[in-house]
Structures are given as C-alpha cells and as structure tokens.
C-alpha cells in the first residue's frame, strides 16, 4: 500500500512539485510527532522568499552556501528544469558552494542581421539603457548575429512615443492634453457604474469592450495608482482597438499584465490592453477603431476575467473616462 501511495503521489505532484518539496524540506527540520496536547509547539520560522536577481550578462552564476536547485531557480526567475537541462544535472540535484551553473533567462532575444539596440527596445517595449546594462553592452552598442540578449522584466512604454506610425495618415483621435495629477481628499467611494461602449464616432476613442468598471483610474484603496481602468467582462468577449493605429507590441506572460497588446496612435498616444485570453494581431499590424485585437482573459495577476485598459501620451497616463463618453 505504501509503494502504491508513493507511485500515485509522484504522478500527481509531478517533477516541478517534487523539486519544490525537496528544496523546502531540505532546509527544515523533521517535525516532532511525539508532542501531546499539553506540550507547547516548537516555534518554526518559515524560510524567507528568495530575493529576485538578474542573470549576469555571461549567463554564468556561482552557487552560494545553502543554495538548493529550487532556490537558485527562484532567485533568477527560471524553471528548475531549465537549470537541470543546461548543466546536465542528475538526481538528487545536490549543489555545492562554488559550483558554476549556466542559467538562461526566461525572456531573451536572439539577434538577427536587421537588429539594433533601438529596434529591439521598440519591439519588446523595454528601456534601451536597461537592455544595454543587463547584457554588458557599451557604446557604440554593436550586436552580432546569433547573440542572445536578456530582456528587462519591466516595460517602458515611452520607447513607443515617437509620432505617427508609417502607413497611417491619421486616426482622427482626440488629442488630449495631459494635466498634472491632483491630490484628492478622501471621499466616500462612488457606486460602480456600468457602461456600454458607444458607436465609434469621428474624432473620438471608443471603449474596447462592454462591461462594468471594477477598478477606476487613480489611487486605489491600497494606495496604488491605477494608470487605467479595469473592465469586467465574460471570458472570450472580443476586445476592439480604441482607435486606428499600429500594433507596436504583443507580449505573453508579462509580469502582472499577463497577455498584453500595445497599439500606437498618432500624436504619441498609446493604448494598452492587458489580461487578454487570445491575441488575434501581431506586431506591425494596422488596425481600425473597433477591430478585434484579442479576447478578454484571466492572465496575469487577476482573479476574475477582465480587461485592463490604458491610454497614455508622452508617458503620462490619462483617465479614459475623460476621452470616452
């Protein structure tokens, strides 16, 4: 019976789960099962979460005292399996202090003949400075074909703020003037309102999906500023472009945003659509107002199907309600 249990447990947990358990148990003492109801339980301090670090430009790291396979993977935000495969490790996957490991970051780009630091930063919406710093690049930032570059984990929408995309003569979209943010005194929360995306009108943006706004633009109850609005909708609901533009970025598994699409419009305006389920466009596509770019999903750090929608101009987030009636 014990052997059958072990077989079934291994099948249900899988390799990733077993590696996690091995890494956790390896740093904890065996529990004391001889205590009675009158015996105070021993205070056990849970292990601290591993601080996240970037992988060095040469993709080589050195094992530190007390490191486990899972700990190293957590530190550099990669999978334990990728470390095993890159370094030919065998069970029980014990590591020794000073051991050299090759670690390939999760988000990378292999350089082609047309690439430059500027074009790569535009393609992935990341900072040129961070891209160069992560990969040990220095002026004049020459790249070689086949070179694997690590991509920054944070997005920089400002790299897309460079005027009208080629192939678009105009969108007719309203050109907002960013205004300084005002500090508002605490007021009772207004009841949530439902809205219906209106028919696209000349010279205006339109709502990308119909639904209830469950998170408004501005400071939230937790003190975090929401740079857009979150719209609750059914999974699979079609998400349309808010105005005519060019798809400047398509990303999968982007930190808290999940699946993300950025559309670039004239006047340095960018609209962002996050937590998508399916994506139906690719980078470089020209989309008309209302054209489908994807569907509502449950990707990223959300607990219900919704769309996070932003409008930005020159890095400044703009309340969509100020532009869309």
Question: Measured between alpha carbons, how far is residue 182 from residues 133, 214, 229, 322 in Å?
Answer: 35, 22, 18, 15
- Nearest Cα neighbor of 275 from 218, 225, 237 is 237
How far separated are the first and last CA of the chain, in Å rounded? Answer: 66
- What is the arithmetic mean of pLDDT over 245-258? 83
Q: pLDDT tier at 120 (50, 70, 90 boundaries)?
A: confident
**Fold (topology level) of 2-26+45-102:** Membrane-bound Lytic Murein Transglycosylase D; Chain A (3.10.350)
The predicted pLDDT at position 174 comes to 43
Summarised one tens digit per residue, pLDDT across range 47-91 is 556 677 888 878 899 999 999 998 998 888 888 888 998 899 999
The predicted pLDDT at position 77 comes to 80
- What is the arithmetic mean of pLDDT over 104-132? 83
- What is the arithmetic mean of pLDDT over 218-229? 75
Residue 185 has pLDDT above 50, yes or no: no
252: which 2 tokens? 């999968």
Summarised one tens digit per residue, pLDDT across range 261-302 is 999 888 778 899 999 999 999 988 899 999 999 999 999 888
Q: What is the mean pLDDT of the chain?
A: 75
Beta carbons of 27 and 122 less than 8 angstroms apart? no
Give residues with Cβ within 8 angstroms of 9, minimum separation 6.
none
Query: Which residue carries 């569907």 as its tokens?
Result: 295
- For 24, phi and psi rounded to 5 degrees? -75, -50
Question: Measured between alpha carbons, how far is residue 18 from residues 9, 87, 91, 96, 248 in Å?
Answer: 10, 19, 12, 20, 40
Within this chain, domains 2-26+45-102 and 163-175+202-322 share the same CATH topology? no
Q: Domain spans of the chain?
A: 2-26+45-102, 108-154, 163-175+202-322
The predicted pLDDT at position 171 comes to 45
Model confidence, pTM: 0.52
- Alpha-carbon distance of 88 to 29, in angstroms, equals 29
Summarised one tens digit per residue, pLDDT across range 210-219 is 999 988 888 7
Q: How many CA atoms lie within 13 A of 131 on its CB side?
A: 27
Lowest mean pLDDT, pick from 121-135, 147-161, 175-189: 175-189
The predicted pLDDT at position 31 comes to 53
The predicted pLDDT at position 76 comes to 86
Which is it for strands 269-279 and 292-296: parallel, antiparallel or unpaired? antiparallel
Domain 163-175+202-322 in CATH 2.70.70.10? The answer is: yes
**Fold (topology level) of 108-154:** Membrane-bound Lytic Murein Transglycosylase D; Chain A (3.10.350)
Lowest mean pLDDT, pick from 103-112, 148-157, 175-184: 175-184
The percent of residues in the chain predicted with pLDDT above 70, rounded, is 66
Summarised one tens digit per residue, pLDDT across range 10-46 is 444 444 443 343 344 444 455 555 656 666 666 555 4
């Amino acid at each position: 019976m014990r052997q059958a249990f072990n077989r079934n447990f291994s099948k249900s947990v899988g390799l990733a789960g077993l590696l996690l358990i091995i890494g956790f148990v390896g740093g904890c003492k065996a529990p004391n099962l001889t205590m009675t109801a009158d015996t105070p339980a021993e205070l056990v301090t849970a292990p601290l979460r591993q601080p996240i670090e970037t992988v060095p430009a040469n993709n080589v790291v050195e094992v530190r005292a007390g490191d486990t396979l899972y700990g190293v993977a957590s530190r550099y935000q990669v999978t334990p399996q990728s470390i095993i495969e890159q370094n030919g490790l065998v069970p029980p996957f014990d590591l020794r202090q000073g051991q050299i490991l090759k670690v390939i970051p999760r988000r990378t780009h292999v350089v082609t003949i047309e690439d430059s630091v500027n074009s790569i930063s535009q393609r992935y919406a990341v900072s040129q400075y961070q891209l160069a710093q992560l990969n040990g690049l220095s002026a004049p930032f020459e790249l070689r074909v086949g070179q694997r570059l690590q991509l920054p984990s944070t997005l920089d929408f400002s790299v897309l703020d460079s005027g009208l995309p080629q192939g678009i003569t105009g969108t007719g979209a309203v050109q907002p003037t960013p205004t300084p943010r005002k500090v508002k005194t605490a007021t009772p929360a207004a009841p949530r309102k439902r809205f219906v995306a209106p028919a696209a009108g000349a010279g205006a943006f339109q709502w990308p999906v119909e639904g209830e706004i469950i998170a408004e633009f501005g400071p939230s109850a937790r003190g975090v500023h929401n740079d857009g609005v979150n719209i609750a909708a059914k999974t699979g609901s079609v998400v349309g472009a808010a105005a005519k533009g060019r798809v400047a970025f398509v990303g999968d598994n982007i930190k808290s945003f999940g699946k993300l699409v950025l559309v670039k419009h004239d006047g340095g305006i960018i609209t962002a659509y996050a937590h998508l389920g399916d994506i139906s466009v690719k980078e470089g596509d020209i989309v008309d107002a209302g054209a489908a770019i994807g569907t509502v999903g449950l990707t990223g750090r959300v607990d219900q199907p919704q769309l996070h929608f932003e409008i930005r101009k020159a890095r400044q987030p703009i309340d969509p309600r100020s532009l869309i009636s």
